[in-house]
Amino acid sequence: MKELLDALSNPWPWYIVGPLIGLTVPLLLVLGNKSFGISSTLRHICAACVPMDIPFFQYPWRKEIWNLIFVAGIFIGAIIATTTLRSQEPIQVTDELRAELATYGITNMNGLVPTDLFNLHNLFTLKGFILMIVGGFLVGFGTRYAGGCTSGHAITGLSNLQWPSLIATICFMIGGIVVANFVLPYILRL
């Protein structure tokens, strides 16, 4: 049992994780005829908590409670993965990125989220505000405007050969490549 836990505690390679993520699509279909897509949960939360009189939030969100329960599971799974299945090895960061980030003073690589950037104090600095609040806003606004995120478009949509999903996925990548390479360096220097 201990050996199994040890084996599972090491970071899992992409060729294990990728196919298992892909299997989530048929699994949800078989279990309850549900489509795998996570950004919709943000909409359900709006519809449940602050629908106001906005037509976009007037729909039977209770039918989608399964999705909110699914993301609650993601949260619990992440806790399990960082406690019971905690890795003894440091997280993997390529030397290239490590050297680059060091020039911005980002050296703490103890967690999957860099605490040098994402911390409560930084929330009140321009840099942290842009990364966390503006970034988060763009994730919520952009995914709904695009009609899906990495799960709904890139995985489910492409799996079902939906060409609008291909366009959306290409745009996700273009947006990310532009910001990571040409905008983020300026933000990190703030």
Partner 1 sequence: MKTTGSETTKLSQGDNGDVQSLDRESQPILKAHSPLHYIQYILVGIFFGILLVKGEVISWFRIQEMFRFQSFHMYGVIGSAVLTGMISILLLKKFHVKALNGESMVFPVKKFSKGNIYGGLLFGFGWAMTGACPGPLYAQIGTGAVVVIFTLLSAIAGTWVYGLLQKKLPH
Q: Return d(Cα 63, Cα 187) in angstroms, integer.
A: 41
Instruction: Look at residues 122, 116, 123 and name the one whose alpha carbon lies nearest to residue 98.
Output: 116
**Least distance between partner 1 and beta carbon 4 (Å):** 14
Cα separation, 94 vs 9, in Å, equals 20
Q: Can residue 8 be called a binding residue for partner 1 (CB under 8 A)?
A: yes
- Give the orientation angle of helix 135-146 with respect to helix 163-178, to 10 degrees: 160
Contact status: 64 vs partner 1 (CB under 8 A): no
Cα separation, 14 vs 18, in Å, equals 6
Contact code string over 91-130 relative to partner 1, x by CB under 8 A: xxxx-xx---x-------x-xxxxx-xxxx--x------x
Comparing CB distances to partner 1, the nearer of 2 and 63 is: 63
- Residue 5 touches partner 1, criterion: CB under 8 A: no
Count the Cβ atoms, other than its own, within 10 Å of residue 40.
22
Task: Give, as ranges, the residues between 70 and 89 that touch partner 1 (CB under 8 A).
Answer: 70-82, 85, 87
Nearer Cβ to partner 1 (2/13)? 13
- 29 belongs to the binding site for partner 1 (CB under 8 A): yes
The one among 126, 176, 189, 190 contacting partner 1 by CB under 8 A: 176
Q: Could you tell me how many residues of this chain bind partner 1 (CB under 8 A)?
A: 130
CA distances from 41 to 11, 21, 31, 45, 57 (A): 28, 18, 19, 6, 12
In the bound state with partner 1, the residue whose beta carbon lies nearer, of 91 and 105, is 91
